[in-house]
Amino acid sequence: MADERLIAALDFHRMEDVERLVTALGDSVSYYKVGMELFYSVGAQVVTWLRQQGKDVFLDLKLHDIPNTAAGGICSLMRLGATMLNIHASGGYTMMKTTAERMHAEAEKMGIPCPKLIAVTVLTSINQDDWEGMGQALQIKGAVVRLAKLAKKAGLDGVVASAQEAALIREACGEDFLIVTPGIRPAGCDVNDQSRVVTPARALSDGATQLVIGRPIYAAVDPKHAALQILEEMEKVK
């Protein structure tokens, strides 16, 4: 049985690879992430196809622009039927607030369910050296919490953040706030290009609501077996 806390990442650029993985995973996974590589390669058809299969979609395009442009972009993407969309928290309070308000108003006008809107805090590939090289004075954890609180104030449903910061975000933003965590690696897996990684059980225990997991599933010899092992680990944390 699928667990909506698991979001499998479709880090491909061809529809045939998407169809092969989704078919192989069957009913073990109900929620998928579509990122830039895939969306820019095949376009909206991948969201349409996934929805036709009864799957939820996290459309991970990380919009970051002036408020009016970001809001317009999200409203356009919303029409595709994705379950969750995101923008960059570093776009600032006004951008986030404008986007959230416009999205809710447009959904009401169209008579469709409004997707969840979350904000990217600090990418999980960024380590402290990278962060300091960008001229940032705060420690990463402090910056993530500040951005999460700003996203909540702006009316967003949650954030994307490393699970290493999940407990701090949960404490700062309360229980009814989504914390979507990439950089999840089951024990024994390579970390690849991620810097701030955590196991599935630890992420959930620390307050994460949903886990985005890519390579450990799609690069496995048996993707469904890999997914079921992850789900078994997740089931230990309610």
Give catalytic residue positions: 62
- The pair of structure tokens assigned to 125 is 């590939």
The residue with tokens 């972009």 is 73
Q: Could you give the dihedral angle defined by the CA atoms of residues 102, 108, 113 and 118, in that order, rounded to the nearest 10 degrees?
A: 20
- The pair of structure tokens assigned to 200 is 């599935």
Strand partners for 32? 8, 57
First vs last C-alpha separation in the chain: 15
